Each structure stands twice: as structure tokens, then as C-alpha cells.
Copies of this chain bind each other. A is one copy, B any other.
Amino acid sequence: MRKTPRFHLNNYLSRVGSQVNAALDRFIPDETVEPPTIHKAMRYSLLAGGKRIRPVLCLAACDAVGGKTANAMPLACAVECIHTYSLIHDDLPCMDDDDLRRGKPTNHKVFGEGIAVLAGDALLTQAFELVALAKPPRRHDIATMVRELAFAAGSLRLIAGQVQDLENENRRASLDEVRTTHMNKTAALITASIRLGAMAGNATAPQLGRLTKYGQDLGLAFQIIDDVLDATSTKEAMGKSVRADQKHQKSTYASALGVDKSRALAARLIADAHKQLVIFGDRATPLRVIADFFLTRKH
């Protein structure tokens, strides 16, 4: 008889999150390494206790294709470095000008703008070093994985999204433009996190295809819910400034489609994401539960 033990998301997130934090702590130089300031600034934002959604998805995808967690760990850390760098730069006065992130003062508030720019640069650079430290799986090589991350983080995706975000301030963007921005700004890195984890787990092409579609649906749903929460939640619940979109007159799903329709759209995307997971059976339980959690999260 097949056993399907009940899956406790909170336990899973806290267990895997701790593994990721321990690995990040191991990989990133600490304040005893010269120059202390930069390593202090990097670690301040990196180890500030985010939800670790991208690394968790990376490891869960590796698991879904039957890979070893240890093989995906450098990649999980790499995507978290990319995410954190993008937050540090995004919070700068010349970008979104935010004072609060992950419940703490933003990097430039603590270390000054010059060091914050450099800490972001250093985390971005570190990410690629981490990819290059991964054990090459049989079906995929390190060069492919470096290109995967560079593409997702580069001027055609993540950075494109940041630019479009800046350019959508103070103007009414169409729903189509908002969708493109979100796919670039959020869904691309979430999808890459999942794909890299799957590659590290030696995924076949069909497996990779399913997980790519899962990641795209999940990523867009995640950002839609983010828009909704920015419009409806509190600073205390979020650990960062809310109504930031309104303040910058940003077009979001909440403003372009309304809160209720946005929630309904996110729910449809999550339902689609689930369909991609059928071929993985029980191994995809974490990916399923995470998808549902995305829809119901309050922060």
C-alpha cells in the first residue's frame, strides 16, 4: 500500500529555508574577510530572513525530478543572491526609494547608497560563481545553466521588468503591458529558479517543459497577488512599505483589473500550474502545496 504522509507546508518551508540559510552563510564571506563593509552589507540583506521562495522552488523542482538536494543547493543560493541584489538596487532613492524591506531598514539606509550599489553588484557577481560551483548533471552542462540565469536576470527579462516598471510610473499602462512587466520582473526569475533546480536534478526535456510552464503560471500569479497585497495589506503584515504602487502611480493588476478579478485570474493560473505537475506524482507534493500557498498568502 502506498503511503502518502500528510505534508506540512510550514515545517517544509522552515526546514528547507534553514538549509538554504545555512548554505548562504557558508558561501558568502563574512565580516572577517576584507573589506568587512561589503561583506557586512551583502549579508545584512541576504540573511535578513526573506521567505526564500525562489530557492525553495529550486530545491523542490530538483526533488520533483528525483535529484539530490545537495546538487541543487548552489543554484538555490544563486537565485536568492540575484533576488536580493535586485531588491537592494530597486530600493535605492533613484529607483523605488524604499526605506523598509523584510521588516528592516533598506540596505542604503544602513550602509549608504555607494555601498548599497556595490553590495548589489557583489551579490549579482556571486550568483554566477555559485552556478559555476554546482556539480554538472549528466544531461545539462554548467555553461547552459549560466546562460539560463544570465538570460532570466538580464536586460531581456528581470532588468527589462525593472525598466518597464520605472517607465510605467505616472502613466496608465495597458493590462498587456502590466502582464509583460510582471512576466519579466517576477515570473522569469521564478521560472529560472525552477528550471535550474530541475536541471541540477538531471531533468529530461519533457520534465523541463512541464516545470517551465508551471513556473510561468506560478510566477505571474505570485506578482498578481503581490499587487493585490500592496493595495490591501498593511506595512506590519508585509514587512515592507505598502501602497508603494499607488505612491509611484504604478499600473498594476490591482489598478488595471481590480482586486477581485485579479484574485480570480491568479486562481486560474494556479489551477493551470497544477495540471503541469501530474506527471511527477507524489514527488511534486511540495510544488503543489507551494502553489496553493501563493494564492492564499497574506504577506
Query: Which residues of A come within 8 Å of B, CB atoms?
Result: 29, 33-35, 37-39, 42, 85, 89, 92, 94-95, 112-115, 117-118, 120-122, 124-126, 128-129, 131-133, 136, 141-144, 146-147, 149-151, 153-156, 159-160, 162-164, 166-167
Contacts and interface: CB of A to CB of B under 8 A. Distances in A.
Contacts of A42: 155
A156 B114 contact: no
A289 to B, nearest CB: 32
Contact of A126 (B120, B155, B166): B155
23 contacts: A29-B155, A29-B156, A33-B156, A35-B160, A35-B167, A37-B163, A38-B155, A39-B155, A42-B155, A89-B117, A94-B112, A117-B117, A121-B159, A122-B154, A122-B159, A125-B153, A126-B154, A126-B155, A128-B146, A129-B146, A132-B142, A142-B142, A142-B143
A124 B124 contact: yes
Contacts of A154: 122, 125-126, 129
A85 B128 CA distance: 16
Copies of this protein in the assembly total: 2
Contacts of A39: 155
Nearest to A164: B35
Contacts of A89: 117-118, 121
Contacts of A153: 125
Contact of A124 (B38, B121, B136, B142): B121
Contacts of A114: 92, 94-95, 166
Contact of A150 (B113, B125, B147, B166): B125
Contacts of A166: 114-115
B117 A160 contact: no
A115 to B, nearest CB: 7
A92 B42 CA distance: 20
A187 to B, nearest CB: 16
A114 B118 CA distance: 15
Given A35-B167, A114-B166, A118-B162, A132 B147 contact: yes
B129 A151 contact: yes
